[in-house]
């Protein structure tokens, strides 16, 4: 399959253009020629030298990641930037990136994957960012206690051996759950306003502790990496349906 065809299909499915003015990430094809034949595609959370080298070892023609290498462009391709880019150019490995579009996709996205793990029903978009969303909200079929919610996530997510942390300031039973993966505590006020019992995200900020305590809501910190493996895995399944050979590169950070 031509690289341009793969890129067009991904851009259409993820509505990449709709997030162009909202995301610091340069989503879409970040590195690659205008035309190339793609047979093997690797998938990973982070676009870094470790995953580039692993994709080359897997003989991939294209690497698809959630976190890319361009966050507003480059001033110079020198030093660490050069070292990071060199394997891509030297081995003709193309790089496709989807950051917020993959967070916000209501079926294939990261928040949707976490919602699947928790068995949430009656789902709706959550986490407003301009006219778009970067998360999802839903209702648990059976209410969780804070410990049960922690155990469920710890048992299903790739946490790299790190614990799932709960800021336990909400009700004894958790039914309404809001999810913004990665670094999502900026949407704590929106979760409170929506009447959520808990906000599930990856990593926290200092002020989230006091904000959650004062608002009476649980905040679950399950790991940035751990909450953001779902989107690229869903894209891997999609690429497999297109007839491409795929592989997933697991490089958990424990953060």
User: For 187-215, how does the pLDDT look when each residue is reduced to its tens digit (9 = 90+)?
Assistant: 999 999 999 999 999 999 999 999 999 99
All domains in the chain, ordered by first residue: 3-98+229-247 (3.40.1390.30), 103-227 (3.40.1390.30)
In Å, how far are 17, 65, 111, 141 from 115, measured between CA atoms?
25, 21, 6, 11
Q: Range with the lowest mean pLDDT among 27-36, 77-86, 226-235? A: 77-86
In Å, how far are 52, 108, 112, 175 from 120, measured between CA atoms?
35, 15, 9, 9
Q: What is the mean pLDDT of residues 52-70?
A: 97
**What is the average pLDDT score of the chain?**
96
Q: What is the mean pLDDT of residues 92-104?
A: 97
Q: How confident is the model at residue 155 (pLDDT cuts 50, 70, 90)?
A: very high
In Å, how far are 26, 33, 57, 103 from 97, measured between CA atoms?
8, 15, 20, 12
pTM, two decimal places: 0.95
Binding-site annotation, residues for a divalent metal cation: 66-67, 103, 224, 228
Helices (H), 171-228: 188-193, 206-215
Binding-site annotation, residues: 66-67, 103, 224, 228
Q: Which residues pair with 31 in a beta bridge?
A: 95
Q: How confident is the model at residue 116 (pLDDT cuts 50, 70, 90)?
A: very high
Taking 90 as the threshold, does the pLDDT of residue 152 lie above it? yes
Q: What is the pLDDT of residue 81?
A: 86
Q: How far apart are CA 98 and CA 30, in angstroms?
A: 10
């Amino acid at each position: 399959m031509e690289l341009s065809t793969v890129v067009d299909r991904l851009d259409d499915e993820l509505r990449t253009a709709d997030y162009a003015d909202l995301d610091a990430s340069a989503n879409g094809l970040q590195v690659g020629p205008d035309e190339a034949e793609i047979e093997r595609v690797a998938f990973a959370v982070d676009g870094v030298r470790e995953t580039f080298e692993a994709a080359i070892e897997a003989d991939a023609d294209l690497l698809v990641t959630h976190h890319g290498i361009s966050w507003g462009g480059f001033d110079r391709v020198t030093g660490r930037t050069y070292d990071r880019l060199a394997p891509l150019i030297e081995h003709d490995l193309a790089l496709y990136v989807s950051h917020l579009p993959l967070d916000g996709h209501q079926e294939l996205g990261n928040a949707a994957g976490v919602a699947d793990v928790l068995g949430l029903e009656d789902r709706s978009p959550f986490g407003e960012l301009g006219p778009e969303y970067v998360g999802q909200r839903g209702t648990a079929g059976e209410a969780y206690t804070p410990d049960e919610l922690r155990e469920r996530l710890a048992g299903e997510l790739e946490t790299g051996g790190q614990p799932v942390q709960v800021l336990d300031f909400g009700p004894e039973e958790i039914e309404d759950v809001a999810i913004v993966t990665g670094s999502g505590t900026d949407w704590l006020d929106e979760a409170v306003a929506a009447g959520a019992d808990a906000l599930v995200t990856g990593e926290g900020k200092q002020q989230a502790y006091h904000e959650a305590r004062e608002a009476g809501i649980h905040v679950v910190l399950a790991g940035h990496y751990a909450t953001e493996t779902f989107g690229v895995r869903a894209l891997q399944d999609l690429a497999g349906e297109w007839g491409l050979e795929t592989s997933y590169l697991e490089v958990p950070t424990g953060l």
